[in-house]
Chains A and B, each alone.
Chain A
């Protein structure tokens, strides 16, 4: 319903400086949701769940912005924060993957206790201060800037390009710097290895030590999954069929598996015929 509320600024016009029932309802629904999202983020073991909880909080906050007569900011919040920033977080989480779950054990002695006490203390102080300082505040409301002169978006744009022009330009420099910095950090290692040319790939394939194409996963295997390695005619695992991307540790684990299956760990497989161990 908040959307409808927003869509009709005419309603808020008459009751600008007070909070309407609709807004109160929206607040009492979204506020606890935001808090729940924050708490969920705090307590979720899995980092992806944390991120999702945070998305909930951010969406709630975005809607709260709209309710608070800042429709543009509300949607920017959704687009930028949930659409871009949190998506980036999810991206990185999925790339990092393996480490996304926190261990339950706290290694720093007293950290949790101290953090809880300090957090409660901080919240108490701020809430107390706000409660004392802002009891008698009468909000002016944004009806005037939101209705005159092109509305909320136009007025924000005007502020950005007049009063805040210099900071605005600075943010552009900041963004460019950040983009370049991120590229430098992210591409640092990749720039070293050069891509193989078509010719090299061809020569590798036809003149390498294994004529023909590499074995695909699942060949001669019991399952048709990418995680299942190909087997050589004698039943041993074909090392080349394991993907680095799919399962980072598979190759490391393979040696153990081979040893386990063979019993000795040193039983020669088919490759021994070629002089490899």
Chain B
């Protein structure tokens, strides 16, 4: 890691990255109805402007020597409290700039797409405000130069995510999905927060530079604790096991949101966190092992569940879970895989966003219908959508020389490249995941775009007939742009280790792989497995017409997959129930024990004073009587002392 220098020149304006979208959000939220007519345009304009500035910044940085590429822009002292000083500063280095480009680029496209997609929504202006808010928070997350700033952005994107998932707040499932996302994110945030606390307690700072410089002073147990807690935070944000359940539910939000937040950007924040914290993870092999296990397990269950769902977006969501599992697995590999993880993150950002936008386009044309069993044969009716979607599909399943081929296969190869059993296990899981990915994606393609149109005899829930049609230009253009990204990004990034070299100042040099299987062998293995998946999918879904209703008499694995592999049940059984019981027990103790004690004391006092109160009869003669009694007592006492 290189030491940052003070930002100068065009980088001195880096605060614009935060200010522009935040300004947009503020204007749109505070402006109210007056901004209804041009609000969406303002939202797009700010993000596009941010993108333009980010690109300029990127190319400026690119022109500098690798040592000078890391800079910091100090804005102000944020929390100047005694021992804790948190400065509000932006860290401009290859990693953050990469994310800036991803966020603003994909963000711009999705903003544009949203103009068309949300055209019929009443609160479009508010929607763009939330999107802008999200972009601002996400940029703060990646640009912050310390964990507290990151945490600020982290919570900001959480808020934006909550608001956007619950966009259709009149729908119960959307509302509960928003709450679910919010709560499960809290679990992860708790881990992140505790990790930050530990850093502050042990190191007295939360700035990246100082933490990474001095993390070696910590004991291995502390480092392990920090890594695991950071991982918990990453799991929460990125929908990794065991906190993956909120992500599919989050598809209740509008599709652009799913594309931007829950596919391309926000959910990758966990990957960013681990990659950013690479100096810490480098110190703890055990921590990285846990990260890998989580990643591998998540990628597997994501694939498996993705096979079972019939909801277009949910399948894609589980696909996202699975793909982020790949990324986590990659960053868990350590210096072997940080850059690979980031690369897959970027390519995934392109093709998954494209896939989601395509899905949105399809649903837009299908009366917001999400059930793929009600679709079919849409390829002719939506040619642009079909083509762009297919390109994204191919990129995802790792079709040779498309994006996924370079990024995902590299991860699989890196997984295989480990020593001993780890190589076989993680590599095997990753390769298996690739096969299953090919299977469910092909299933999706076959059911949606190919085959016979099953929607012709059906009506949507609101009673309308389906009239699939191509989407407007504002929606198709971003899809096309993203399709280009899906096709070319991987090649661009991986040729000559472009990306790894660029990221080296942030993540260190990419290590050479010496694993159980060679790169070429892995390539062929993966390709073979993917082809097998495609073939199986064609055999199952391509050859014969599919029923509109999903078959209910299915085998156990399918049932389990349909039930999210009992993830929710597991959460329920392991956490919710004991939590409820604990709460009930505590409430009981509070009501009967604490309250009983307090109320009992109060009742004792009240009762006794009620009795004693009766002495105050209001009759002055009674008082005088007691006075005389007291006088006699005093007199008697005096006499006893005097004469005894």
Contact = CB atoms under 8 A, between A and B. Distances in A.
A118 B639 contact: no
B625 A118 contact: yes
B628 A129 contact: no
B556 interface: no
A114 B622 CA distance: 10
Interface string A115-151: 1001101100110110011000000000000000000
A125 B631 CA distance: 11
Interface in B598-644: 617, 619, 621-622, 625, 628-629, 631-632, 635-636, 639, 642-643
B619 A108 contact: yes
A111 B622 contact: yes
A125 B621 contact: no
Interface string B379-415: 0000000000000000000000000000000000000
Given A119-B628, A125-B635, 10 more contacts: A108-B619, A108-B621, A111-B621, A114-B625, A118-B628, A118-B629, A118-B632, A126-B635, A128-B639, A132-B643
A125 B632 CA distance: 8
Contacts of B639: 125, 128-129
Contacts of A132: 643
Contacts of A121: 632
Contact of B625 (A111, A125, A126, A128): A111
Nearest to A125: B635
B632 A122 contact: yes
A129 B635 contact: yes
Contacts, number: 32
Contacts of B619: 108
A201 to B, nearest CB: 45
A108 B622 contact: yes
Interface in A101-115: 108, 111, 114-115
Interface residues of B, number: 14
Contacts of A111: 621-622, 625
A118 B621 CA distance: 13
Nearest to B625: A114
Interface of B: 617, 619, 621-622, 625, 628-629, 631-632, 635-636, 639, 642-643
Nearest to B629: A118
Nearest to A121: B632
* Chain B residues touching A, majority SS: helix
Contacts of A108: 617, 619, 621-622
B364 to A, nearest CB: 87
Interface of A: 108, 111, 114-115, 118-119, 121-122, 125-126, 128-129, 132-133
A107 to B, nearest CB: 8
A42 to B, nearest CB: 14
A119 B625 CA distance: 10
Contacts of A114: 625
Contacts of B617: 108
A148 B63 CA distance: 125
A224 B622 CA distance: 49
B621 A122 contact: no
Instruction: Sort A-B residue pairs by CB-CB distance and give the 3 closest, nearest first.
Output: A118-B628, A125-B635, A122-B632
10 contacts: A108-B621, A111-B622, A115-B628, A119-B628, A122-B632, A122-B635, A125-B632, A125-B635, A128-B639, A129-B643
Nearest to B619: A108
Given A108-B619, A122-B631, A132-B643, A115 B636 contact: no
Nearest to B622: A108
A206 B621 CA distance: 55
Contacts of B635: 122, 125-126, 129
A133 B635 CA distance: 14
Nearest to A132: B643
A125 B636 contact: yes
A74 to B, nearest CB: 29
Nearest to B617: A108
Contacts of A115: 625, 628
Contacts of B629: 118
A256 B632 CA distance: 53
Contacts of A122: 628, 631-632, 635
Contacts of A133: 642
A82 B99 CA distance: 107
Nearest to A133: B642
B639 to A, nearest CB: 5
A134 to B, nearest CB: 13
A114 B623 CA distance: 12
Nearest to B643: A132
A79 B537 CA distance: 128
A39 to B, nearest CB: 18
Nearest to A119: B628
Nearest to B635: A125
A125 B628 CA distance: 13
A128 to B, nearest CB: 7
Contacts of B643: 129, 132
A111 B620 CA distance: 12
B179 to A, nearest CB: 67
A121 B621 CA distance: 18
A115 B621 CA distance: 10
Contacts of A126: 635
Contacts of B622: 108, 111
Nearest to A106: B621
B625 to A, nearest CB: 6
A132 B639 CA distance: 10
A132 B642 CA distance: 10
A122 B635 CA distance: 8
A122 B622 CA distance: 17
A220 B214 CA distance: 120
A236 to B, nearest CB: 45
Nearest to A128: B639
B619 to A, nearest CB: 6
A103 to B, nearest CB: 14
Contacts of A129: 635, 639, 642-643
Contacts of B636: 125
B60 to A, nearest CB: 91
A160 B426 CA distance: 112
Nearest to A107: B619
A122 B639 CA distance: 12
Nearest to B631: A122
B495 to A, nearest CB: 106
A128 B636 CA distance: 11
Contacts of A125: 632, 635-636, 639
A127 B629 CA distance: 17
A152 to B, nearest CB: 33
A133 B638 CA distance: 13
Contacts of A118: 625, 628-629, 632
